[in-house]
Structure 1
Amino acid sequence: MADKTAVEARPHPVAGTDRTRRRVRSPGSLEALVAEIVAVLVGRQFLGGWTGPAWLEAWGAVFVAVCVQALPFLLLGVVLSATIAAFVPARLLERALPRNPLLAVPIAGAAGVVLPGCECASVPGAERLIARGGAPAAALAFLLSSPAVNPVVLVATAVAFRGQPELMAARFLASLATAVVMGLLWARFGRPEWLRPRVPSNGPTGWTAFRASLEHDFLHAGGFLVIGGMTAATLNVAVPRDLLRGAAGLSGVEVLVLALLAVLLAVCSEADAFVAAGLSRFSPTARLAFMVVGPMVDAKLIALQAGTFGRAFAWRFCAAMFAVAVTASTVTGWWLL
């Protein structure tokens, strides 16, 4: 009788497996966007002799240029991020950080240079550090610096802005300064009740985690790259030059415009430099603000941080971070650009 009860209580393996397979195989909107970019690139080869309206040719040229240049760096970035998530022990960063926030914050910010990760991966990484007793200020500094100042992002910026090494240097300095300042501000003014991380569960490790992270990050980031390329192309074609010149004539307006655009677009940090390079009508300082703000506060990160740490944290932290990032970009642009 006991055996019969145990058998009846056990879930049906075939039905559960079928449901799981259906969930995994069902394509989402981001997968569709990645398929669209492949279709555009392939179709462009077959339609190479076709000439359409001038505005459409210009739109397609900017869109394809942004996506084709960014894809190798996007792939490299997600491979490195998946490798770290699957094979680098979480204890490594915990042991390397001092308990004193004034020392831990700059070290955690600098760790982003050697421990690259995408924006989506940095949030659960910071959550794990806090849940295991790490200083929240240091964990938040690492959350901001990892996707913003890692080698993949810096090399992609150098490639996107050939002949303008000062833009790569400005991005590095402004992003690192923003991460460290936000960590120190949290150490001084942050309250424990604003930050309520969930205790992360033990997930898969090794090659299983690598494949899952690689697939998720590439599809996710690739979809937003397509959106960013489409927006950059549309802005270059549709927005009148006189309007942009009028905005540029007002001090700080174009910086705020591109900073807000970075929040709305939510382009992956490995690809945003190519989108910024496509926004050639804006000043270097405005494009710097786009590249500094995007990896630290955008639409998807606000939702992710709210779901991970709570709404009380997300709205305070993101509002302060936007102000600090815009200020750091403006000061650094005035100094170097």
Structure 2
Amino acid sequence: MFKTILLGILLETLPFLLLGVIVSSLMQQFVSERFIRKCIPRNPLLGVPFALVLGFLFPVCECGLIPIVRRLLAKGMPLYIGIVFIVVGPIVNPVVIAATYTAFRSRPDLIYSRMGLALAAGLLIGLIIYFFVKGNPLKNKQSAADERQHSHSCGLEKEHADIHANPHTIHTNKPNKLLTMVDHAGNEFFDMGKYVMLGSILTAAIQTFLPRTNLVDIGQAEFSSIFFMMGFAYILSICSTSDAFVASSFASIFSSSSLLAFLVFGPMLDFKSTLMLMSVFKKRFVLLLSVLIFITVFAGALLLGYWYFPSN
């Protein structure tokens, strides 16, 4: 039983994880941050919708988004746009939509509600950040710029050294973007694969060894099921390209609203992304953002449970 559930989850999950890291690596290598900055609207009120569209166009999971947004914030991107990008991007991008459709093709209501709740939560959080957060919450305002300047200087020094050592290699030392992309995709696949494997093992173990009556009792009670699945998503820290398959394995036990909470809360905030956020932003801001995400997702899932999923 355990092996069957585990293999089933992995066989459904890994192709989308691979697709996600390939697209993420392509975006990193061939789409410049300068291009993104040029697209940012000058009107602040258009910034939140722009961030929502940006999240749809860039199929990068939360692990890849946080470092990207950190660089963009250091280069002048408004805070609220970066936060909306972090919150919404891992859910509304094409790869995740395709994975969610594959996992819940018989449940289009969950597909639509996942995208709708993510967009609504991102819009609300972005507006709150825009109107109420006035200071700079970056943990180290100069760190990103210093890192870029340091790496640029190191690169120039290395290039000059190579030129002096062998002038004939001046045109042959440029990095191959395709090879760099493949290397990045491989590293990211194995890095994310650890979390996918851990999440799949825990999911299979819970369904195999935890008494089904206990799961049913938790899963059918509205409040407890939402709390349980949000906590489960936070602990698993599974990639958004794969979490739909984990959620679908609980579809017969847990309510639709709790599955929705799992699908939206996990990509927005989990254990590993919390650590990454705390390395970029001040703890007070991370706490504020965490509270906003929790409240909006919980309230949204609860409301949809009564309004959009009347049978649950």
Q: TM-score range by the shorter chain?
A: 0.7 to 0.9
1:148-297 matches, cutoff 5 A: 148-196=91-139, 197=141, 198-199=143-144, 201-202=147-148, 206-207=177-178, 209-248=180-219, 250-280=221-251, 281-297=253-269
Match of residue 129, structure 1, among 72, 86, 92: 72
Output the amino acid matched with 1:149.
V
Q: Does 1:318 align with 2:263?
A: no
Deviations 1:233-259 (A, max 9, x none): 111112223222332454311011100
Query: In 2 relative to 1, CA 139–222 (structure 1 residues): closer, same or farther, beyond 3 Å?
Result: same
Distance 1:249 1:166 in 2: 18
Segments of 5+ residues of structure 1 without an aligned counterpart are 1-57
Output the amino acid matched with 2:191.
H
Deviating above 6 A after TM superposition, structure 1's stretches of 4 or more consecutive aligned residues are none
Distance 1:207 1:172 in 2: 32
Match of residue 112, structure 1, among 48, 55, 75: 55
Shift, 1:275, TM fit: 0.6
Distance 2:211 2:65 in 1: 38
Segments of 5+ residues of structure 2 without an aligned counterpart are 152-174
Distance 2:176 2:118 in 1: 31
Deviations 1:110-144 (A, max 9, x none): 22111110111100111122111111101111111
Distance 1:69 1:247 in 2: 26
Query: In 2 relative to 1, CA 333–100 (structure 1 residues): closer, same or farther, beyond 3 Å?
Result: farther
Distance 2:220 2:95 in 1: 34
Shift, 1:220, TM fit: 1.6
1:119–1:295 contact (8 Å) kept in structure 2 = yes
Distance 2:121 2:180 in 1: 31
Distance 1:305 1:218 in 2: 21
In the alignment of these two chains, the number of paired residues is 280
Distance 2:302 2:13 in 1: 25
Deviations 1:125-175 (A, max 9, x none): 111221111111011111112111111101101111121111111111111
Output the amino acid matched with 1:59.
F
Shift, 1:108, TM fit: 0.6
Distance 1:227 1:247 in 2: 22
Distance 1:264 1:151 in 2: 25
Instruction: Describe the SS at the equivalent of 1:61.
Output: helix
Instruction: Describe the SS at the equivalent of 2:144.
Output: coil
Distance 1:117 1:321 in 2: 19
Query: In 2 relative to 1, CA 78–239 (structure 1 residues): closer, same or farther, beyond 3 Å?
Result: same
Query: In 2 relative to 1, CA 88–316 (structure 1 residues): closer, same or farther, beyond 3 Å?
Result: same
Query: In 2 relative to 1, CA 123–205 (structure 1 residues): closer, same or farther, beyond 3 Å?
Result: farther
Shift, 1:208, TM fit: 5.3
RMSD of the alignment, in Å? 1.9
2:19–2:95 contact (8 Å) kept in structure 1 = yes
Output the amino acid matched with 1:192.
G
Q: TM-score, normalised by structure 1?
A: 0.78
Distance 2:233 2:24 in 1: 22
Shift, 1:335, TM fit: 3.4
Distance 1:333 1:267 in 2: 24
Q: TM-score, normalised by structure 2?
A: 0.84
Distance 1:250 1:285 in 2: 10
Query: In 2 relative to 1, CA 98–86 (structure 1 residues): closer, same or farther, beyond 3 Å?
Result: same
Identity of aligned residues (%): 30
Distance 1:209 1:191 in 2: 39
Distance 1:110 1:255 in 2: 28
Query: In 2 relative to 1, CA 318–216 (structure 1 residues): closer, same or farther, beyond 3 Å?
Result: farther
Instruction: Describe the SS at the equivalent of 1:226.
Output: helix
Match of 2:83 in 1: 140
Greater RCO structure (CA 8 Å; 6+ sep): 2
1:170–1:288 contact (8 Å) kept in structure 2 = yes
Deviations 1:89-125 (A, max 9, x none): 1122222222333210121112211111011110011
Distance 1:291 1:248 in 2: 15
Output the amino acid matched with 1:276.
A
Q: Does 1:330 align with 2:302?
A: yes
